[in-house]
């Protein structure tokens, strides 16, 4: 909890210990740990004098606030109709085959998690995937595999 306490201290210096600090704290914990566990949520609730239900409800509502452990690199493929029509199923299939995981799974080495997202805001350049905070538009299966190989090589 020391890391979470440090994050709370840093964020509350800017936002105070009011409800408005909740999202910045949740986002900062995600940036550090890649997910929010139950203890983090309880600790945050106590620090902001909020109910645990309110903090958990906020965290579980937002797609990008994961409440389960994820891989180092979280891959999100847009699943809107625009990306579907542009070939997102082929992209997903290529990723699954390359990483030997399915949607919702994390690789055995904990380096990759594959998820879908309702919209990444790049409908005009689909299919699109997001890896952590980086957007990859106008994908082909070949491009997606090449991008994943680059991430593997960085390790």
Q: Give the chain's radius of gyration (CA, Å).
A: 17
Per-residue pLDDT of the chain (155 residues; tens, 9 = 90+): 558 888 888 888 898 888 999 999 999 999 888 889 999 999 999 999 999 999 999 999 888 898 888 999 999 999 999 999 999 999 999 999 999 999 999 999 999 999 999 888 898 999 999 999 899 999 999 999 999 999 998 86
Show the domains of the chain with their CATH numbers: 2-61 (1.10.10), 73-154 (3.40.30.10)
Q: Give start and end residues of each alpha helix (H) in the chain.
A: 2-15, 22-33, 38-48, 52-61, 81-86, 88-99, 141-154
Q: Report helix, strand or coil for 112.
A: strand
Q: Are 130 and 80 in contact (CB under 8 A)?
A: no
Instruction: Please name the helix (run of DSSP H) or strand (run of DSSP E) that holds residue 75, with its range, or none.
Output: strand 73-78
């Amino acid at each position: 909890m020391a890391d979470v306490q440090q994050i709370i201290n840093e964020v509350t210096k800017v936002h105070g210990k009011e409800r408005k600090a909740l999202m910045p704290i949740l986002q900062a914990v995600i940036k550090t740990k890649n997910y929010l566990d139950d203890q983090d949520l309880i600790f945050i609730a106590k620090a902001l004098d909020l109910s645990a239900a309110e903090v958990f409800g906020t965290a579980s509502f937002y797609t990008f606030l994961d409440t389960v452990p994820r891989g180092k690199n979280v891959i999100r493929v847009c699943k809107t109709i625009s990306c579907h029509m542009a070939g997102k199923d082929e992209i997903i299939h290529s990723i699954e085959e390359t990483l030997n995981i399915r949607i919702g799974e994390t690789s055995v080495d904990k380096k990759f998690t594959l998820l879908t997202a309702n919209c990444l805001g790049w409908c005009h350049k689909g299919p699109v995937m997001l890896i952590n905070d980086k957007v990859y538009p106008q994908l082909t299966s070949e491009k997606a595999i090449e991008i994943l190989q680059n991430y593997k090589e960085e390790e």
